[in-house]
């Protein structure tokens, strides 16, 4: 049999994968930069630069380890500019009968690979704690399934933060201690500055040329592009941020994008860091007394719980999941999501930070940009394409359940038991944005009323039929019903008038969208 071609995708940059550890000596390992992966949605220039620079560095690492590597550059004349076509071209050129690849992170690629027939052989992605078949078994036959149940089972299975079969600290969950807002006297640690080398500089020039028109700046690029840099980020997080991670996990700051968050998702999703080593380092920090249990548990829950859970849901439910739109939301994206030109301070800052850093932390994604889109009735396809494009850590297996399920409640409660809708009161409690804002967060209908307030009630009224019987929504519908009729009418009119002032992109109707939606 001829030698195999091993295709390593841009987010599979680790030599621990079976496809590499089981490679025969004469295998050709291919990494391919292609135009179509850069613009099937308009990825943030920092995201593309991060991936291409990390791919180039990883190719060097593999060469140093003795692998025979073919690297297709974006500006090579014979590059087919499509991952699957380029891999097949290389397989022909190197006379390889078989193309081996690790299970990709997006359905659209898996579908294409499977459509190419027996020449392609898929390997399991072993970077996760839970295999897809184990997740399927866990899900099977359950009428009620929640992340919390999955997470507890994973704690028991891995032994992470467990003591004699019981959760460390005597509780599974420290969420109640993890809701402090920002306060004036807090100092947030500065991120480590990574040295910009020639490889990254070269890639930046390439990205400017081909993708410079996409939303987002390249200036200030400071992502880890090698394993060594990613390990430095992990060490920095453990030493300087972890201890406060839990307490301020939900806080939002007007001037600091990161607070005590780790910014490790991009490295983990790329393969530069393993989920296991990250969780084990955090557990060890707790054991060594460097971090309290609410911080260590709060952090491990995100990775061992949420990250694994959303991946399981994605692969169980695709491709139908992507077509879900249970709230029948039809609007396009507000146009200011592409330029941050809005007077709503919280939105403006989240969008500016996204533009400048290809990063926003979880609560900004969920409760600011996500909440606003939910309240306005933005179609899942429009919002999902945006999230997939603008964040350095975005791949569909993790982005889609978070956006369509958790944020837009478009799966009807499959991922979350109620919508994460909120008025300005929540943003005011958790952030210091409102005092910088031209709107008044205390007003609902006055001239300067915070738009989140009327939109919130408008959303609840619009979806009353679907939501009012949800046990967790009863109280809030009770408050709405106790308001006088003319008050309720004024609130709905205020929301409608505000919606008239927003320019939404063309509504999503029937037909395919860039990343393969049919809505």
Q: How many CB atoms lie within 10 A of CB 366?
A: 19
Whether the ω angle into residue 141 lies within 30 degrees of 0, i.e. cis, is no
Looking at residue 7, what DSSP letter applies? E
Q: Which of 251, 441, 460, 491 binds ligand SF4 (CB under 6 A)?
A: 441
Please state the closest distance from residue 101 (CB atom) to ligand DLZ, in A.
Answer: 10
Q: Candidates 91, 103, 106, 444: give the one binding ligand DLZ (CB under 6 A).
A: 106
Closest CA to 38 of 86, 81, 97: 81
User: What SS3 class is residue 125?
Assistant: coil
Among positions 343-362, residues that touch ligand FAD (CB under 6 A) are 361-362
Among residues 261, 223, 267, the alpha carbon closest in space to that of 244 is found at 261
- Tokens for 126? 């072993």
CB of 260 to ligand FAD, least distance (A): 8
Using CB under 6 A, which of 29, 34, 404, 495 touches ligand DLZ?
Answer: 34
Of residues 382-401, those binding ligand FAD (CB under 6 A): 387, 391, 393-394, 398-399
Site membership for ligand SF4, residue 450 (CB under 6 A): yes
Q: Which of 42, 45, 104, 298 binds ligand DLZ (CB under 6 A)?
A: 104
How many CB atoms within 10 Å of residue 177? 17
Q: How far is CA 342 from CA 355, 505, 514, in A?
A: 14, 15, 26
Check residue 59 for interaction with ligand SF4 (CB under 6 A). Answer: no
Answer with the entry of ligand SF4, ligand DLZ, ligand FAD, none that 268 interacts with (C-beta below 5 to 8 A by kind): ligand FAD
Residues 310-349 close enough to bind ligand SF4 by CB under 6 A: 344-346
Using CB under 6 A as the binding rule, the residues of this chain from 405 to 424 that contact ligand FAD are 406-407
* Alpha carbon 343 to its chain's center: 26
Q: Using CB under 6 A, which of 13, 83, 160, 499 touches ligand DLZ?
A: 83
Residue 513, interface with ligand FAD (CB under 6 A)?
no
Question: Is the distance from CB of 389 to CB of 220 less than 8 angstroms?
Answer: no
Q: Which is nearer to ligand FAD, 120 or 188 (CB)?
A: 188
Question: How far is it, in rounded angstroms, from Cα 184 to Cα 191?
Answer: 20
Helix axes 275-287, 227-240, angle to 10 degrees: 30
Task: Confirm if 456 and 375 have CB atoms less than 8 A apart.
Answer: yes
Which residues sit at the interface with ligand FAD, rule CB under 6 A? 261-265, 268-269, 299, 302-303, 306-307, 310, 361-362, 365-366, 370, 387, 391, 393-394, 398-399, 402-403, 406-407
Q: List contacts with ligand DLZ (CB under 6 A).
A: 9-11, 32-34, 37-38, 43, 48, 51, 83, 104-106, 109, 395
């Amino acid at each position: 049999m001829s030698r195999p071609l091993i295709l390593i995708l841009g987010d599979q940059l680790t030599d621990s994968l079976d496809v590499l550890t089981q490679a025969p000596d004469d295998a050709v390992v291919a990494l391919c930069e292609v135009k179509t992966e850069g613009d099937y949605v308009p990825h943030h220039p920092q995201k593309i630069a991060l991936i291409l620079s990390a791919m180039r560095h990883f190719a060097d690492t593999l060469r140093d380890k003795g692998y025979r590597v073919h690297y297709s550059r974006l500006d090579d004349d014979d590059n087919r500019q499509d991952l699957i076509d380029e891999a097949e071209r290389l397989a022909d050129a190197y006379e390889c009968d078989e193309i081996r690849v690790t299970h990709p992170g997006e359905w659209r690629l898996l579908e294409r690979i499977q459509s190419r027939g027996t020449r392609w052989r898929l390997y399991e992605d072993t970077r996760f704690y839970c295999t897809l078949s184990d997740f399927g078994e866990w899900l099977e036959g359950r009428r009620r399934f929640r992340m919390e149940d999955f997470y507890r089972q994973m704690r028991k299975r891995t032994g992470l933060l467990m003591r004699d079969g019981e959760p460390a600290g005597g509780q599974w969950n420290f969420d109640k201690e993890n809701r402090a807002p920002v306060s004036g006297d807090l100092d947030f640690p500065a991120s480590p500055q990574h040295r910009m080398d020639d490889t990254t500089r070269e890639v930046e020039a390439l990205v400017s040329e081909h993708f410079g028109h996409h939303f987002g700046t390249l200036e200030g690029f400071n992502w880890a592009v090698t394993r060594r840099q990613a390990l430095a980020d992990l060490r920095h997080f453990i030493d300087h941020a972890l201890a406060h991670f839990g307490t301020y996990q939900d806080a939002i700051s007007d001037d600091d994008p990161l607070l005590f968050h780790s910014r490790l998702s991009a490295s983990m999703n790329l393969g530069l860091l393993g989920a296991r080593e990250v969780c084990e380092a955090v557990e060890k920090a707790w054991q060594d007394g460097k971090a309290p249990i609410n911080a260590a548990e709060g952090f491990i829950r995100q990775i061992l719980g949420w990250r694994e859970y959303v991946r399981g849901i994605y692969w169980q439910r695709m491709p139908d999941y992507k077509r879900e739109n249970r709230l029948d939301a039809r609007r396009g994206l507000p146009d200011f999501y592409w330029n941050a030109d809005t007077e709503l301070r919280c939105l403006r800052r989240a969008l500016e930070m996204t533009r400048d850093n290809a990063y926003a932390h979880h609560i900004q994604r969920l409760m600011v940009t996500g909440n606003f889109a939910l309240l306005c009735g933005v179609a899942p396809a429009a919002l999902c394409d945006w999230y997939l494009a603008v964040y350095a850590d975005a791949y569909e297996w993790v982005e889609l359940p978070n956006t369509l399920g958790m944020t837009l409640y478009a799966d009807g409660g499959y991922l979350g038991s109620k919508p994460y809708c909120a008025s300005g009161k929540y943003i005011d409690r958790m952030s210091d944005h409102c005092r910088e804002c031209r709107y008044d967060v205390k007003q609902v209908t006055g001239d300067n009323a915070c738009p989140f307030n009327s939109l919130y009630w408008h959303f609840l009224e619009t979806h009353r039929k679907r939501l009012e019987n949800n046990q967790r929504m009863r109280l809030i519908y009770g408050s709405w019903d106790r308001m006088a009729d003319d008050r309720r009418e004024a609130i709905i009119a205020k929301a409608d008038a505000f919606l008239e002032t927003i320019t939404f992109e063309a509504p999503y109707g029937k037909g395919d969208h860039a990343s393969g939606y049919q809505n």
